[in-house]
Structure 1
């Protein structure tokens, strides 16, 4: 490590306390490119082989095969990711924000994206997922988290420009922490000598699930087809943007990311119906090498809780717990 990095390290030390985890911070600083140890230039260069040839049609097929009941997300993600990956000189990173109820595919679709970009898919060392409760548990340590987050993202992108960063439960992160990464998402040729324009940032949140669910329920009650719902239907995307911007408890409260229009797409994920849960059960059967059984799939799906109480249209947990529920019937 050159002297410049040591100077930066000791400049940052006053912001770090033993209580906050000095050794944890030290490890993050030294291992920005690899959790396993110090910089290894040979490994860094060989890791570039993890970026596979991107095929837009393969991504479309994968989304259609693996994502259930999410026509808006499927169409938007396919076009956004494809255009970005085909651009040899993008002017900014790709920034997506997923919103909707739990269990509807928001986290799962990040795996689909990853396996169409990296040979190792979600297991690639260039796919970084930040779980709010685990990585940023203490609100009083926001300043330390800001320093760590900036260094971690900057270091990884400097090693691998096509890195992917996923922030799960963004509604639980402080807006100050999120705004820390604003320079990385902006139209900047470089930040501290590094270009971030080939990176991908994805935010995942259960926020606005009520607005999305209510719109979907309105379409159902009006006898309209679910696929008629579009991202612009009744100002859905605008409503999502305005609501999260004004939510004092959310990560995007008065965020500069929204002010400066740095999030490329706010993507709603709709609540799942019985037919979608049934598809999830069949998928789990295949994953567990079980014989495909449509009657059993229907039985498991119907055993899941649904709402509203009168109509029982949407799965309360989406496809979460489907595997656990299937296990109860596996030996029947």
Structure 2
């Protein structure tokens, strides 16, 4: 059985058992092109397919594709003296959609999910500033049951790589790495 057929069967089986199933496809940028199109019928505007309704199912696609465009917009905002928090979806959606659709390495390359506008919403993850890394570190310490220590977290955050290199505005990595890096500073 082909991968696309296996994926369709897996989705159908889960939705048949639980109509409000949630599917998270991580690292779409590493997924073979055309594979995700195999589930297009389940995201399309059909009432039921083979007696199964997919209207309550939620599909979440995570990808690093489009990261360059997101970083460019964030940097453009900074150069204009605007805060990162002022960036809204309208500032990103068109370029992000085109980038993901036209990137041969995205998993969504030339995907009918994009061309037929079946992706309902984009949630871009903006690059983090130094202050965000500190917040992540303090939250991680609290989650571990530790007393948050701002000095420790600030030392950790200062050792991150930033871009542009001269100005050190945005971190090249996100909060995921904080839990791993924090151990070296405790």
Whether these two folds match at TM > 0.5 is yes
Partner of residue 290 from structure 1, selected from 131, 141, 146: 146
Alignment of 1:108-147 (within 5 A): 144-147=2-5
- Cα distance between partner residues in 1 of 2:148 and 2:110: 49
Secondary structure of 2:122's counterpart equals strand
Which position in structure 2 is the counterpart of 1:246? 102
Which position in structure 2 is the counterpart of 1:133? none
Which position in structure 2 is the counterpart of 1:228? 86
Secondary structure of 2:165's counterpart equals coil
State the Cα deviation string for residues 38-82 of structure 1 (Å, max 9, x = none): xxxxxxxxxxxxxxxxxxxxxxxxxxxxxxxxxxxxxxxxxxxxx
Alignment of 1:55-70 (within 5 A): none
Which position in structure 1 is the counterpart of 2:163? 307
RMSD: 1.3
Alignment of 1:254-265 (within 5 A): 254-265=110-121
Deviation at 1:249, TM superposition (A): 2.7
Cα–Cα, structure 1 residues 205 and 294, in superposed 2: closer, same or farther, change >3 Å? same
5+ residue gaps in structure 2? none
5+ residue gaps in structure 1? 1-14, 16-143
- Cα distance between partner residues in 1 of 2:115 and 2:76: 30
Which position in structure 1 is the counterpart of 2:47? 189
Deviation at 1:174, TM superposition (A): 2.3
Which position in structure 1 is the counterpart of 2:125? 269
**2:35 is the alignment partner of 1:177:** yes
Which position in structure 1 is the counterpart of 2:183? 327
| TM-score normalised to structure 2 length | 0.94
- Cα distance between partner residues in 1 of 2:68 and 2:34: 25
Which position in structure 2 is the counterpart of 1:43? none
Q: How many residues align?
A: 186
The structure with the larger Rg is: 1
State the Cα deviation string for residues 251-281 of structure 1 (Å, max 9, x = none): 1122111122111012211100001000110
Deviation at 1:204, TM superposition (A): 0.5
| TM-score normalised to structure 1 length | 0.54
Deviation at 1:313, TM superposition (A): 1.0
Q: Which runs of 4+ in 1 moved over 4 A?
A: none
- Cα distance between partner residues in 2 of 1:250 and 1:328: 34
Deviation at 1:250, TM superposition (A): 2.3
